[in-house]
Homo-oligomer: A and B are copies of this chain.
Amino acid sequence: MISKIDLTNNKMVNKNLNKEKIIIGVDIGGTNTVIGIVDFNYNLLFEDSFPTLPNNGINTFVKRLVTRINEVFLIYENSYSLEGIGVAAPGVNYLSNTIESPANLNWGNVDFIEIMKNYFHTPISLINDANAAALGEQNFGKAKGMKNFIVLTLGTGLGAGIVVDGNLLYGENGFAGEIGHTIIEINGRQCNCGRNGCLETYVSATGIKKTVFNLLCQDNDKSELRNLNYEDLNSKQISEFAIHNDPIALKAFDYTAEILGKAMANMVAFFDPQAIILSGGLVNADNLLLEPTYKYFEKYLLNFYKGKVQILVSGFHNGEAAVLGACSFALKSISNAQIDHNIVIDND
């Protein structure tokens, strides 16, 4: 058990006054979880990832996460003092401060902070993963200085962090920006959210795999993809097939790009943003997705907006923006708590 901040008689006693202060950031994805160690100048000192394996349940995941954090922190323990943990996860409700039935983590409603408190005596904060990525881009990435922008994270699902007039859009119930769950086709593909035709069943790592299988059915193109089963196939392999000119893989990227380009044109009609920033494994697959996405975006964009919206690719590796965003959110939460409680942080 890591216990950097000990609470005695409601006063914070920091045993590590001479040590450099750090925050641990965690980005929980449907497939992988990224851990990063960040100092108070937001230098990323360390980064690692491990498979989330959500089907094993929340308790098993937390135990594995704690083991990883302890393992990683062992290296830093002597010279650094842990001041907080910032966790980014899908389905986080800003108001209830819990994880609420995310489509790609079958954990139901989870009071993640309460569970983590069993293992750590350090302040823990929770933020929606796409909102964390938006904060990461706004503070340290491509959205520096921007007041109206959207960050799309294309992973197992599709997340969106929306910034309006400089602030994250939370909405009335803390649950705005669920763009991955906008329905683009009535009676379309089955989604983990229980409905059909959600954008993320088309535009995500899972979505492009589904598209490959639809194309294997619809088209008669010769393709090596006909030798792979659904369970084994992943989006990285689809990229590799596309690079080697597999016709099904190329068509799958084009189909995904058309839906993404149209969806982005629609987002512009909703929000009139300065930029849309794309991130995630699918986006990093060379220009396989990007080039046709630019083309379709232009095609489907309302005339007025032409030339006014930048489409940018995140400069961060997978999960880094969310880790940095979660850390900056954690640091802000700690500062607010210190102001609220007169330099007393109550973890109990």
Contacts and interface: CB of A to CB of B under 8 A. Distances in A.
Contacts of A172: 147-148, 272-274, 308
B195 A269 contact: no
B178 A269 contact: yes
A181 B308 contact: no
Interface stretch (A14-22, A25-33, A163-171, A227-235): A163-171
Interface residues of A, number: 42
Nearest to A103: B302
Nearest to A171: B272
B173 A305 contact: yes
A263 B300 CA distance: 18
B182 A269 contact: yes
A32 B181 CA distance: 37
Contacts of A171: 148, 271-273
Contacts of A269: 178-179, 181-182
Given A183-B262, A186-B262, A266-B182, A272 B302 contact: no
A289 B112 CA distance: 43
A193 interface: yes
Interface in A289-325: 300, 302-305, 308
Q: State how many copies of this chain the complex holds.
A: 2
Contacts of A262: 183, 186
A76 to B, nearest CB: 38
A101 B303 contact: yes
Contacts of A186: 258, 262, 300
Given A101-B303, A175-B304, A305-B175, A272 B183 contact: no
A282 interface: no
A302 B193 contact: yes
A271 B266 CA distance: 14
A174 interface: yes
A271 B308 contact: no
Contact of A183 (B164, B169, B266, B271): B266
A21 to B, nearest CB: 33
A90 interface: no
A149 to B, nearest CB: 8
A304 B175 CA distance: 9
A342 B178 CA distance: 46
Interface string A255-299: 000100010011001111110000000000000000000000000
A47 interface: no
Given A100-B304, A148-B171, A164-B164, 20 more contacts: A147-B172, A148-B172, A162-B270, A164-B169, A169-B271, A171-B272, A172-B273, A172-B308, A173-B272, A173-B308, A176-B272, A177-B270, A177-B272, A178-B304, A181-B302, A182-B266, A182-B269, A183-B262, A183-B266, A195-B302
Interface of A: 100-101, 147-148, 162, 164-165, 167, 169-179, 181-183, 186, 193-195, 258, 262, 265-266, 269-274, 300, 302-305, 308
14 contacts: A100-B304, A101-B303, A148-B171, A164-B164, A172-B308, A175-B304, A178-B272, A178-B302, A182-B270, A183-B266, A183-B300, A186-B262, A193-B302, A270-B270
